[in-house]
Amino acid sequence: MSLEPETPRSCPVRVAGTGSYLPERVMTNHELEEAVDTSDEWITSRTGIRERRIAKEGEFTSHMASEAARRALDQAGVAAIDIELIIVATITPDTLTPATACYVQQQIGAFKAVAFDVSAACSGFLYAMELARHSVGAGAFRNALIIGAEKLSAFVDWNDRNTCVLFGDGAGAAVLLPSTNGGGRILSSTLGTDGAQAELLNIPGGGSACPALPGAAPARPAVLSMQGREVFKHAVNAMRQAANDAIAAAGLGIADIDLIIPHQANLRIIDAIVERLDFNRENVFINLDKYGNTSAAAVAIALDEAHREGRVKPGDRILLVAFGAGLTWASAVIEW
């Protein structure tokens, strides 16, 4: 007889709809050449980024999140009022409190939903997916709306060429439902964190450690700071490991994967991972040339674009893998 408490039976969960939103304003590398000591050649060859989207004044993270959410709900055929759980993954919330998910709940009219944020940087959407999968799978909620959304342009030092060329704004969303009659399911997921490396990538100012008090700028700025080369190395190792772990947890091998959707930070990182996984580069979804690094939104936007472009078909197995500040990493294998 087992003395362990009985684990409730969990039902499989599927992605029933995806959506994304990108602000209209396109900022090219050439425009950045006017602002800082950089070049289109440097940015393209070192990162693969050609342009990024920038939210307009008055357009906040919640607005982008809500638009992506509406599109995902529409595709899933679920009414906002029937949504029971909203998780927004973001490091650029509208306000420190309340959570951006609360604004989204109001904006889309999901008045019955429990709503909160997760802060796991670029891995945030996959953290949200894992939380939501277990919540819906265990029957605590009948459905979930998960969103990755960022207005990174508000937290970038536009005079720092080390960071300002890398980031962009946008949002992506997915609706999760129980997978009762086949039709796809999330097969596996892995999450990881290494807080010992927190200093490598952070926004030092604006929090309780370094508050922005009335009438005074915080002693350290509320903008992204990154030791790029170090982060690069960790990103390659952690994402390769996370990818292998999720594939193994799904009981599959790399040859069973039809499409990889990686975090969109740097084309060289993606190439290094794909090479180490011995995977066909043609089956890797890449859109960072258009949007740059949109942190928690990146995998969510890429999943929606891949879906809408017909690169994800029923029965396909898709590997999602991400890495970001924390340090955090995450991966998931979805059978579509």
Q: Contact at 8 Å (CB) between 54 and 294?
A: no
CB of 242 to ligand UT7, least distance (A): 13
- Tell me which of 92, 143, 190, 266 binds ligand UT7, using CB under 6 A: 266
Asked if 265 is part of the footprint of ligand UT7 (rule: CB under 6 A), the reply reads yes
Shortest Cβ 314–ligand UT7 spacing (Å): 31
181 annotated active-site: no
C-alpha to C-alpha distance for 231 and 243, rounded to whole angstroms: 18
Tokens of 198: 């927190």
Q: DSSP per residue over 248-314, as a string?
A: HHTT--GGG--EEEE--S-HHHHHHHHHHHT--GGGB---HHHH-B-THHHHHHHHHHHHHTT-S-T
Task: Indicate which single residue of 247, 269, 300, 318 sits in contact with ligand UT7 (rule: CB under 6 A).
Answer: 269
* Selected range binding ligand UT7 among 43-51, 76-84, 98-106, 149-157, rule: CB under 6 A: 43-51
Pairwise CA distance, residues 29 & 39, whole Å: 7
Cβ(334)–Cβ(184) under 8 Å? yes
263 is catalytic: yes
Sign of CA dihedral 76, 80, 85, 86: positive
CB 322 within 8 A of CB 126: yes
Whichever of 55 and 238 has its CB closer to ligand UT7, that residue is: 238
Catalytic pick among 63, 244, 293, 307: 293
282 backbone dihedrals φ, ψ, rounded to 5°: -65, -20
Tokens of 301: 């936007």
CB 317 within 8 A of CB 187: yes
Q: Which residues lie closer than 8 Å to 247 by C-beta, 6 or more apart?
A: 188, 253, 254, 256, 257, 319, 333
Rule CB under 6 A: say whether 192 interacts with ligand UT7.
Answer: no
Binding positions for ligand UT7, 140-179, rule CB under 6 A? 161-162, 165
Residue count, binding to ligand UT7 (CB under 6 A): 20
Tell me the per-residue interface mask from 45 to 64 with ligand UT7, x by CB under 6 A, - otherwise: -xx-----------------
Among 101, 110, 113, 122, interactor with ligand UT7 by CB under 6 A: 122
Question: Contact with ligand UT7 (CB under 6 A): which of 12, 26, 33, 38?
Answer: 38
Of the residues 244, 263, 266, 287, only one is catalytic, namely 263
SS3 state at 93? coil
Binding mask 272-311 toward ligand UT7 (x if CB under 6 A, else -) reads ---------------------x------------------
Q: Does 229 bind ligand UT7 (CB under 6 A)?
A: yes
Q: Which is nearer to ligand UT7, 20 or 266 (CB)?
A: 266
CB-CB neighbours of 78 under 10 Å: 19
Q: Which of 29, 63, 102, 122 is catalytic?
A: 122
Q: Which stretch binds ligand UT7 (CB under 6 A): 38-46, 63-71, 86-94, 177-185?
A: 38-46
Angle between helices 124-137 and 296-308 (to 10 degrees): 70
Question: In the complex, which residues of this chain contact ligand UT7 (CB under 6 A)?
Answer: 38, 42-43, 46-47, 122, 161-162, 165, 228-229, 231-232, 235, 265-266, 269, 293, 323-324
Active-site residue numbers?
122, 263, 293
